[in-house]
Amino acid sequence: MRFLSAALAALLLTACSDSPEPSAKKKAPEAPAAPITGRQAFQYVYGPARLWAPDSEPVTIRSAHLSEVKPEAGKAAAWEVVFVSAAMGRARSYTWSAVETEGWYKGVFAGQQAAWNAGPQRPFSAGAIKIDTPEALEVATKISGAYLGKPGTRPPVSFQMQDSGRYQMPVWHVLWGGTVSSAEYSVMVDAATGKVVGKN
């Protein structure tokens, strides 16, 4: 009887030792870094900006190109939004980047505060951003056949939204080039209606 009990115990121990260990859960591979639209970037940074200052409003939204991320039409790998608070008399930039690279932190990052006084560029409400950057690019491209049809290569497209007071509403500057002042060619698209209001 004792022999039978010992044999049974040995059999159970062997069965337990042979059972496979539970496999560790495999971590899903991280999605590749991808660019986003101007309005998407704004939505990412708007909440943190309002926590900083409840009356904060954007004064500029601009895109940036990063060599690490493949561009897509109307989208950028990095964005900077400058918010201002009239109550505090301060300005603060918030950035979003698809990757961490020189000068940019991945995700949302709050910059340093600085003094702000009302100037030619006026703050605008979040509700003014009705037209997103892919739509602005599509509209700008349709009326830019003469420029786009010229021989040679074109600089990458950048975007900047602001309310300079020149137009009734804030506009998207669709820029073939880096900035409003240095762009080779630019089209201004009303951010509320999607209508072209100017070009240079």
What is the residue-level pLDDT of the chain in tens, covering all 200 positions?
444 344 444 444 444 444 455 555 667 677 789 999 999 999 999 999 999 999 999 999 999 999 999 989 999 999 999 999 999 999 999 999 999 999 999 999 999 999 998 878 899 999 999 999 999 999 999 999 999 999 999 999 999 999 988 888 999 999 999 999 999 999 999 999 999 999 99
| Model pLDDT, residue 120 | 81
Q: Domain range spanning residue 82?
A: 38-199
In a domain, 90, yes or no: yes
In a domain, 162, yes or no: yes
In a domain, 59, yes or no: yes
pTM of the model: 0.84
Tell which residue, 134, 139, 129, has the closest CA to residue 188.
139
In a domain, 5, yes or no: no
What gap in Å lies between CA 44 and CA 78, rounded to an integer? 12
| Model pLDDT, residue 174 | 98
In a domain, 4, yes or no: no
In a domain, 73, yes or no: yes
In a domain, 28, yes or no: no
Count of structural domains, the chain: 1
- 95 and 103 Cβ atoms separated by less than 8 Å: no
Buried b (16+ CB within 10 A) or exposed e, 148-159: eeeeeeeeebbb
- 64 and 102 Cβ atoms separated by less than 8 Å: no
Contacts of 141 by beta carbon, 8 Å cutoff, 6+ apart? 148
What gap in Å lies between CA 37 and CA 172, rounded to an integer? 12
In a domain, 147, yes or no: yes
